[in-house]
Amino acid sequence: MKTEEKAVLKTTGSAAGILGVSTKTLRRYRDLEGGFLIQDKDWFFGAFDNSPIRWDINRCKEALSKRRKGFSKYQDFQLAKKILEDQRKK
């Protein structure tokens, strides 16, 4: 049985440094911006409007790893879209 890892949440600046991308790029990767990082799974809004966004480092690393291994190179956009939708259901 797989044990679930505890989420490691970081602010945008810290997460960007750990993941090796800029803060602007990390924000663009959110599903709100048409990206592949999913709200309430990979990233979370704070309790208030001015609270910082928190990023689950482990889930973000996994998502970035999948993208870097050729996920973004699918010729058929519909196939990539279906895979993303399936991941959101999990």
Q: List the chain pLDDT tens, one digit each, 90 residues.
A: 455 678 899 999 999 999 999 999 999 999 888 889 999 999 999 999 999 999 999 999 999 988 766 555 444 566 667 777 888 776
The contacts of residue 51 (CB under 8 Å, 6+ apart) are 45
Q: Per-residue DSSP letters for 22-53?
A: -HHHHHHTBGGGT-SBPBTTTEE--SSTTSPP
pLDDT at res. 1: 41
Q: What φ, ψ does residue 75 adopt, rounded to 5°?
A: -70, -35
Q: Where are the domains of the chain?
A: 9-89
Residue 13 φ/ψ, nearest 5 degrees: -60, -45
Report the helix count and the strand count for the chain, using DSSP H and E: 4, 3
What is the reported pLDDT for 33?
Answer: 83
The rounded distance, in Å, linking the Cα atoms of 12 and 20 is: 12
Give residue for tokens 């910082």. Answer: 52
Tell me the pTM.
0.69
